[in-house]
Amino acid sequence: MTSPTKAEGSGPAVALDPELAATSEVDKPKTLEGRSPGQLMWQRFRRDRTGMICAGVVIFYFVIALCAPLMTALSGTNPYTLYGQDPTYVDTNPILDDFGLPLGYFGGVSGDHWFGVEPQYGRDLFAMLMYGMRTSLYMALGVTVLLMVTGVIIGLIGGYFGGRTDYWIGRVTDFFLAFPQQLFFIAFMPVVTAFFVDPQEETPTYFRAVAILIVLWLLGWMGMARLVRSTVLSLREREFVEAAKVSGASPWRIVRKEILPNVVSPILVQFTYQLPSTILTIAFLSFAGVGFVEPTPDWGRLFAAGARYAEQDPAFMFFPGLALVIFILCFNLLGDSVRDAFDPKSGR
């Protein structure tokens, strides 16, 4: 990636890369300290504008989601109150017409309800989106971390020990891959729930979250395991692993000190691709009606509702949709940038 200053090319040679020049000048008088591949990657990443902007946007989303109560405090709304039916609000400030559709423009956008309101109930879309993002993002984060950890452990074991171990782990992986995932999500969610909770009683929300976590985790670790396994297989044959063996290192030490640091970059890249797709999967679950249910605010459920209202109030879909598109786009671009930063030769 050519830095902008380099591309101009008219300035003196010293100013080629102010950032690099500055760091090396600071370094020289002290000690000769090399930059690790990680530091180099960070430096390349910082020069990638798209990556930096996308990283900013993604962090912004996570902060917003984490601060959902703060945001709703600012807007003075909450995601559970039925502003269109509650008499205290209906009398002072009616927001729905006789047909249950929002008054005003663009789904009822106003000073009180920044992103408009939901038809029929009159719930505040801004508050619902904030809380919905919180549910989705942190669920996805949890699921992805679980997937990654499981995949890395299984991949490391299969790749490093090889032979029979690898064969059986590979067959188990194939077995799980053979499940039609989305069908199983839909079919399995009620089963898992019924397994732990008496069907007579109402399923607590936290348990719905746990069930989603379990199902997505069981059916999602295979990709990561395969990636790590293939990386480890090629690393295992490298001579530095043999050098460690010659010095008498234990398999555990070799995995930890020699192999794991070298798998970090593919793991990180895979993570940045996996997270947005997990968000979409969770949204899909809620959309299909097996994820979170009323009244838990959730990104996916907003789309399900939006689809219902699409004919009368298409604006309802606008803000959640735009938010999701921007988020997924930025996260995927961020993934590309991270990959480019780790391996500048592989990209464009």
Partner 1 sequence: MSDNLTLPAQQGPTDASTETLLEVQGLTKHFPIYGGFPIKRKVGAVQAVDGVDLTVGVGESVGLVGESGCGKSTTGRLITRLLEPTAGKINYMGQDITHASRRQLAPVRSEIQMIFQDPYSSLNPRQTVGSIIKSPMEVNGIEPEGGQEKKVRELLELVGLNPEHYNRFPHEFSGGQRQRIGVARALALNPKLIVADEPVSALDVSIQAQVVNLLQKVQQELGIAFLFIAHDLAIVRHFSQRVAVMYLGKVVEVGDRDSIYNRPRHPYTHALLSAVPEVAVDDEAGDKERIRLYGDVPSPISPPSGCRFRTRCWKAQDKCASEEPPLLQLSGNRDGHLTACHFPEDPTTEARAEDVVLDPALKALEKDTADDTESKPAKD
- Give contact residues for partner 1 (rule: CB under 8 A): 31-38, 238-240, 242-250, 253, 257-258, 261-262, 264
User: What are the structure tokens assigned to 126, written together?
Assistant: 């801004």
**Least CB distance to partner 1 at residue 261 (A):** 4
Nearer to partner 1, 7 or 26 (CB): 26
Helices (H), 125-221: 125-161, 163-177, 181-196, 205-218
* C-alpha atoms less than 13 angstroms from C-alpha of 12 in its C-beta half-sphere: 2
**Least CB distance to partner 1 at residue 346 (A):** 16
Q: Are 129 and 320 in contact (CB under 8 A)?
A: yes
**Least CB distance to partner 1 at residue 230 (A):** 17
Nearer to partner 1, 37 or 56 (CB): 37
* Phi, psi dihedral angles at 102 (to 5 degrees): -65, 140
Cα 143 from Cα 261, distance rounded (Å)? 23
Radius of gyration of the chain (CA): 25
**Least CB distance to partner 1 at residue 13 (A):** 21
Nearer to partner 1, 130 or 241 (CB): 241
**Least CB distance to partner 1 at residue 312 (A):** 58
Nearer to partner 1, 295 or 344 (CB): 344
Q: In terms of Cα–Cα distance, which of 287, 296, 305, 298 is closest to 118?
A: 305
Cα 20 from Cα 301, distance rounded (Å)? 48
Nearer to partner 1, 33 or 91 (CB): 33
Residue type, 55: A
**Least CB distance to partner 1 at residue 275 (A):** 24
Angle among Cα 176, 212, 336 to the nearest 5 degrees reads 70
Nearer to partner 1, 6 or 245 (CB): 245
Nearer to partner 1, 38 or 104 (CB): 38
Cα 48 from Cα 1, distance rounded (Å)? 7
**Least CB distance to partner 1 at residue 33 (A):** 4
* C-alpha atoms less than 13 angstroms from C-alpha of 4 in its C-beta half-sphere: 5
